[in-house]
Amino acid sequence: MSAPGGTDGPAWLDSGRPLESRVESLVADLSRPEREAIALGEFEALVGRGLPAPHYVDAGTGLRDVPGATAFPAGIALGATFDAELAEEVGRAVGEEARAAGFTVLLGPTLDLARDPRAGRIPEALGEDPHLTGKLGAAHVRGAQSTHLITQLKHFVAYNGEDRRTGEGLGETRGDSMDVHLSLDLLQDAYLRPFRMAVDAGAWSMMGSYNRLNGRYVCESPDLLELPRREWGWQGFYCPDFLFAVRDDAAALDAGLDLGALGGAAGRTPEMVAAAPARLLDGLVANLVRALIGSGLADDPPSATRPASTERHRELAERVALAATVLLRNEGQALPLGEDVTSLAVIGPSGADALYVVGGSAAVEVDPDRRVTPLAGIRARAGGRTVTSAQGSWGDALLPVVPATAFTLPDGSGPGIEVEFTDPQGNRWTEQLATIDHAADLSDPGSRWPVRWRARLTSHASGTHRLSLGLGGRAAVRIDGDVVMVGSREAELFLDGPRYPLQARVDLTAGVPVELEIDYRPGPAIVIPPMGLGPTLRLGWQPPDQLIDEAVAVAAVADAAVVLVNQASGEGMDRDSLALPGDQDELVRRVAAANPRTIVVLNTPGAVLLPWLEDVAAVLQVWYPGERFGTALAAVLFGDAEPGGRLPLTFPHAREHLPGGDHGPETVPTELDYDADGGIGYRAPGVRGHGAAFWFGHGLGYARTTGRLVAATIEEGAVRLRVAVTNHGDRDTVGVVQVYAEVAGEAAELTAIARRPVPAQQTAEAEILVTADSFARWQQEQGRREPRDGRHRLRVSAHAGDPGEAVDIICEAGTLSLN
């Protein structure tokens, strides 16, 4: 077939034609065997007709496994910017890097809501709020796809934790993944909303998640896969998540899962596609072709010709880190550090040991020559000030393996550890080993797994010892019968990024043995030998040392002390608690006691508990700030830039105040009841009842701003809010106006954000239009989200817990009026 209008090429390559006619012409040109091959992930027929094939790259906020790619701050940092323009810029930069490396499909952005605060992948996504996640996610999609490629939204849908995400045991015994139960109302009004917004922004693909939803695998559920097509008019293509998302390939094909795997066909067989009705097969081929043409890829295919990263992108990474830094507390204007500070102590993992990125498939390899450590960044900016440093703590790190000399057999008869093994057939026997430093032999098909370790543990020193357990699997560690560490990890090191060991502190007396017992199961470790993934177990320790004392000594003689604390997180793990791991709380307490101008920098994946909060002068939240960590941190500390961020998730007073507080890490259910949550994040009943340590939306900045509602009018069917934003500070700033809707008396929910630059000591006006959609809820009878009739309230607030100023709105059949 040739293109009209004098062009000689085929119709599907004629950019002058409407998209649908290009798609139809290409699908019509493909033979049935070619269509079947495409359904099996073989794209030669498309490539032969001039289209680029899907070529995937993990790209949360930066490319995985692409040497030299820019390590942007983590997704949650982007969430903290509350800035859709910046999200769009990051999307564009990541898109440019992906194309420069020859990729056609970005696996991202991640739009999973932060439901359980322990969830390991919170830092990959944009926080706990559907509106914020949707708004920034949509902007990210617009930016990335403007470079002509496909974004694949993930993970569709209701995938909000790592416990049992892919099942539990090894291999055949893995079993089913987590089953999430939730009503259609909740699905529509919360979890689907960000996907809808990103689809409306043009996203061409979605990744089906690992979990089950109401008893059925998402990737095998016709109702769920059909929903975006039927209700939103979406015409893109689905892929399942890697390896474990499909358990019945024929059912998944039948349900409308377009491709059977992220590469190849996994369990989808030629017989299955041969048996597929023409309508189904043509539909899936058309969905893929439409994305390849509609995204611009067919007309503008990428070529891997340039290095991915550019200086412009690295500067953008730094700007995002600045805009994402949240000033949580600033007593007595401890920050920024002025000329009065002539000496500064920098404490904690602030050198090569600092954390820059999330772990797992969203990890970006940080270029060691480019990354700026916090210490290097501070030293470079400190001018004539004296900068001293002290390790203080190892932070969240795998500690050195406990030496063989520390172990004797349980009966004291000699050195060693008694280990009970089991093989895959369930046969058990006992052996003796010298240390707990075990990685399963992945090349041995009859592999054996240690299931129980018993020994007497004796230290040469008295005092508090830190313990760490590097773990691929599930383990509980007991000392003298008390559980000191318990949890699970799919891998000790998930592809890239930091390791995430379990951590504990125990008091030991020199020469006095304690009884150590470890119960271990290799599942849920993921076994992929070429990727280095498999079961491991390593017990490390740090006997009492002088690290905290040395840090205190350094802090005591400095004008100010900056303490960096951290917690690693990422794919394949949920945190064991919200406490900072190891001895970091004690470090902060002791430094704060020695120096009244103590500034804590939280480099954590989400909310942590802050038992020392009242003792410290200032707290900054930096998330995982990417490769320009040190430069951005120094600019904030010395006041060159404002910490521009707002919290994209709530810091609760206690972990139980948020959903999921009734389980883990000791018990992991097979089902979760989301309807019982009663709201997530700032809408959770526990947070509404007890308040929060820091609310969603909170962020002080250096210039204090306040917002005053000047007028509310109805114009062209929408509420027009005029808000006077006053900058009380002596530096220019950006006011972030947050509008929350209380729909028919329900808990307030963010519905609009306006960012307004305001010069020092001045007032500027922000205008916000709120449409009836802000009062929409799922209406079962109509089968869609519609504005709910009744009396609602809009609140202009500084954060989710701020009553702010309110205006009441009446909504009748979609028409708004002021009360």
Residues found near ligand BGC in the complex (CB under 6 A) = 58, 107, 154, 241-242, 262, 361
Cβ 729 to ligand BGC, closest distance in Å?
41
Give the nearer residue to ligand BGC in terms of CB position, either 242 or 407: 242
Find the DSSP H helices in 658-745: 685-690
Cβ 400 to ligand BGC, closest distance in Å?
30
Cβ 242 to ligand BGC, closest distance in Å?
4
Cβ 429 to ligand BGC, closest distance in Å?
34
- Could you tell me which of 634, 70, 73 has the C-alpha nearest to residue 321? 73
Please give the Cα distance from 642 to 102 (Å, whole number).
Answer: 37
In what order do the strands lie in the sheet containing 216-217?
Answer: 216-217, 212-213, 179-181, 671-673
Give the nearer residue to ligand BGC in terms of CB position, either 262 or 619: 262
Mark 287-312 as b/e (b = at least 16 C-beta within 10 Å).
Answer: bbbbbbbbbbbbeebbeeeeebbeee
Cβ 1 to ligand BGC, closest distance in Å?
36
- Could you tell me which of 693, 708, 679 has the C-alpha nearest to residue 798? 708
Cβ 267 to ligand BGC, closest distance in Å?
17
Q: Are strands 386-390 and 437-439 parallel, antiparallel or unpaired?
A: unpaired
Cβ 349 to ligand BGC, closest distance in Å?
27
Report CA dihedral (340, 594, 383, 601) to the nearest 10 degrees. -110
Give the nearer residue to ligand BGC in terms of CB position, either 241 or 627: 241
Helix axes of 84-100 and 130-145: crossing angle, nearest 10 degrees: 40
Cβ 241 to ligand BGC, closest distance in Å?
5
Cβ 340 to ligand BGC, closest distance in Å?
47
Per the structure block, which two tokens stand in for 753? 């954000």
Q: Residues near 210 by Cβ (< 8 Å), separated by ≥ 6?
A: 155, 159, 165, 166, 177, 178, 218, 241, 244, 245
- Could you tell me which of 43, 143, 26, 126 has the C-alpha nearest to residue 85? 143
Give the nearer residue to ligand BGC in terms of CB position, either 574 or 583: 574
Would you call 529 exposed, middle or buried from its count of C-beta atoms within 10 A (0-12, 13-18, 19+)?
exposed
Cβ 494 to ligand BGC, closest distance in Å?
9
Give the sign of the dihedral formed by CA 448, CA 452, CA 456, CA 458.
positive
Farthest-apart Cα atoms in the chain, separation: 92
Give the nearer residue to ligand BGC in terms of CB position, either 58 or 220: 58
- The continuous run of DSSP H or E covering 75 comes out as helix 75-81
Cβ 569 to ligand BGC, closest distance in Å?
14
Please give the Cα distance from 682 to 697 (Å, whole number).
Answer: 10
Residues comprising the chain, all counted: 819
Q: Residues near 339 by Cβ (< 8 Å), separated by ≥ 6?
A: none
- The continuous run of DSSP H or E covering 154 comes out as strand 150-156
Please give the Cα distance from 573 to 493 (Å, whole number).
Answer: 10
Neighbours of 727 (CB within 10 A): 24
Give the nearer residue to ligand BGC in terms of CB position, either 104 or 738: 104
